[in-house]
């Protein structure tokens, strides 16, 4: 079972999380803050006041909001992947005229 064992505030809506698997990284949660329970967390001062619950084994806030460890892990993994350009973007770069160094 995936569990958050440590979490630290980084900046803005980013939190560095470490899982019981040894994996760790920063996750940007700005896009996850929608819906009534997450609305108060749009205030950075409130967002920063999270803890790691010893019962839920994930990050949670005073108002009862929490995010599943699996969600955090998926977001972290997704955000760490470098963006792969689309085929059309790759072709545009390849076909771009080269500047002359002379």
Q: List, for residues 16-75, the tens digit of each pLDDT value.
A: 999 999 999 999 999 999 999 999 999 999 999 999 999 999 999 999 999 999 999 999
pLDDT exceeds cutoff 80 at 91: no
pLDDT of residue 81: 76
What is the residue extent of each domain of the chain? 4-81
Q: List, for residues 11-30, the tens digit of each pLDDT value.
A: 999 999 999 999 999 999 99
Domain 4-81 maps to which CATH number in 3.30.70.360, 3.30.2020.10, 3.40.50.970, 3.30.1280.10?
3.30.2020.10
Which range has the worst mean pLDDT, 1-5, 30-34, 53-57, 92-96?
92-96
32 and 22 in contact (C-beta within 8 Å)?
Answer: no
- Residues in Cβ contact with 94 at an 8 Å cutoff, skipping those fewer than 6 apart: none
What separation, in Å, do the N-terminal and C-terminal C-alpha atoms of the chain show?
61
């Amino acid at each position: 079972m995936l569990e958050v064992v440590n979490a630290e505030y980084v900046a803005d809506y980013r939190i560095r999380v470490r899982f019981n698997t040894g994996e760790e990284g920063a996750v940007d949660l700005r896009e996850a803050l929608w819906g009534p329970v997450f609305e108060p967390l749009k205030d950075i001062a409130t967002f920063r006041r999270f803890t790691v619950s010893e019962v839920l084994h994930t990050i949670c806030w005073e108002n009862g909001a929490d995010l599943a460890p699996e969600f955090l892990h998926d977001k972290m993994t997704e955000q760490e992947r470098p963006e792969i350009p689309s085929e059309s973007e790759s072709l545009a770069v390849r076909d771009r005229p080269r500047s002359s160094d002379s």
